[in-house]
Amino acid sequence: MKLLVTGGAGFIGSNFIRYWLEEHDEDEIINFDKLTYAGNLENLKEVQENPNYSLVKGDICDRKAVDAVMKNVDTVVHFAAESHVDRSIQDAAPFIKTNIEGTYILLESALKNNVQRFHHISTDEVFGALDLDTEAKFTDKTPYDPHSPYSASKAASDHLVRAYHDTYELPITISNCSNNFGPFQFPEKLISLAITNFLEGKKVPIYGDGKYVRDWLYVEDHCRAIDLILHRGKVGETYLVGGLTEDISNLEVIKKIVSIMKKEENMIEYVKDRPGHDRRYAINSGKIRETLGWEPQYDFDHALELTVNWYKENPEWWKNVKSGEYKEYYKKQYA
């Protein structure tokens, strides 16, 4: 396969590229990334000399650049996005531009270049919120009900991807995954922020009452799901990925990290809630398990320990990321 990976210098994209080159050493990957604040070439040091890997710096909203890179590609794996809910609340504009317009430009180019598979990486946030203390879970039939500019822009991009299949027969697949964690996650997301704050001796901010529920998945298990979808998934289908954790609250997650890192619970600090904060997410992953045989290989507690260890062993990586622009963002977000 010759893959065009968009957003491959970000958290999941870089984990995916390392995973793919390891598992499929005959395949070629072009990583097309704008290198925003979230894109970091340090994430890809391990593969930068690999002859099957190349980087093209570019913006998915730039038609010419996209057309140039799409030539002779058979598979697109589209990760590139503005991905952080809190930043979308501070300023929605880049989310609308990249997540909606950028996806449209990629779809047009994929169509023109007869791409054989366009796989779109999406999120469970498009389905909105579930109530606490219910058994309800998201499936691919759950109606869309996004609440943040981020999730609304991802929902719009999902609709566009489906429309290009239904209208122009572009061979697409979509995966809607739950919250990922693991190595190389930018420390603006809950788990990476908590671990690095504890390592710096700083308090960890918990929004509202801390009883919000997310469905957590180790990033490598997400990469494996995408692999299965690309090789065995049915064109036109949507697969929900997740369902590892059973209703664990943010507070419980942070308490687990406190315990792994041998910190004190008084290092947890309740702060102002996120506006429009979705109460609970839960994935029914029955479809991908039953049709493609996907199973997560990492349990939550073990994966959390691996993640803590990775951040402990890679202080240069996160200290570098936490300097500069990040400081300004943090001050504004947690003022």
Nearer to ligand NAD, 10 or 233 (CB): 10
Which one of ligand NAD, ligand DAU, none interacts with residue 317, CB within 5 to 8 A by kind? none
Q: Tell me if residue 125 is catalytic.
A: yes
* Stretch of 58-66, 110-118, 246-254, 287-295 lying at the interface with ligand NAD (CB under 6 A): 58-66
Query: Least distance from C-beta 266 to ligand NAD, angstroms?
Result: 28
180 binds ligand NAD (CB under 6 A): yes
The one-letter amino acid code at 135 reads E
Beta-strand (E) ranges in the chain?
2-6, 28-33, 53-57, 75-78, 117-123, 172-177, 179-181, 204-207, 213-214, 216-218, 238-241, 248-249, 268-271
Burial call 200-217: b when 16+ CB within 10 Å, e when fewer: eeeebbbeeebebbbbbb
DSSP sequence for 143-199? PP---SHHHHHHHHHHHHHHHHHHHH---EEEEEE-EEESTT--TTSHHHHHHHHHH
Phi, psi of 141 (to 5 degrees): -100, -5
By the rule CB under 6 A, 321 interacts with ligand DAU: no
Residues 6+ apart with CB under 8 A from 262: none
Q: Does 11 bind ligand NAD (CB under 6 A)?
A: yes
Q: Which of 33, 125, 215, 221 is catalytic?
A: 125
- By a kind-dependent CB cut-off of 5 to 8 A, residue 12 interacts, out of ligand DAU, ligand NAD, none, with ligand NAD
Nearer to ligand NAD, 203 or 287 (CB): 287
Query: Does 61 interact with ligand NAD (rule: CB under 6 A)?
Result: yes
What is the distance, to the nearest Å, from the Cα of residue 169 to the centroid of all Cα atoms in its chain?
A: 26
| Residue in the shown chain whose Cβ atom is closest to ligand DAU | 123
CB of 12 to ligand NAD, least distance (A): 4
What is the phi/psi pair of residue 152, to 5°?
-65, -40
Q: Which residue has the tokens 């202080």?
A: 315
For position 84 contacting ligand DAU by CB under 6 A, the verdict is yes
Q: Of 59, 124, 158, 221, which residue is the catalytic one?
A: 124
Helix, strand, coil percent content, the chain, rounded in steps of 5: 45, 20, 35
| Smallest separation, CB 217 to ligand NAD (Å) | 8
Catalytic residue among 104, 150, 281, 311: 150
- The window from 32-40, 158-166, 196-204, 314-322 that contacts ligand NAD (CB under 6 A) reads 32-40
Residue 334 among the catalytic residues: no
206 binds, among ligand NAD, ligand DAU, none (CB under 5 to 8 A by kind): ligand DAU
Q: What angle do CA 227, 43, 202 make, to 5 degrees?
A: 115
Nearest to 176 by CA among 130, 142, 125, 218: 125
Q: Looking at 77-85, 202-210, 274-282, 311-319, which segment touches ligand NAD (CB under 6 A)?
A: 77-85
The yes or no reply on residue 214 touching ligand DAU (CB under 6 A) is: yes
**Judged by CB under 6 A, does residue 103 bind ligand DAU?**
no
247 included as an active-site residue: no
154, 263, 280, 322: residue in contact with ligand NAD (rule CB under 6 A): 154
**Nearest to residue 184, comparing CAs of 202, 198, 196, 200?**
196
The tokens describing 248, both together, are 């664990």
87 C-beta neighbours (distance < 10 Å), count: 20
**Residue 189 touching ligand DAU (CB under 6 A):** yes
Closest approach of ligand NAD to the CB of residue 64, in Å:
13
Cα–Cα dist 187/166, whole Å: 38
* Residues of the shown chain interacting with ligand NAD in the complex, contacts defined by CB under 6 A: 6-7, 9-13, 33-36, 38-39, 59-61, 79-83, 98, 102, 121, 123, 154, 177, 179-180, 186
**Catalytic machinery residues:** 124-125, 150
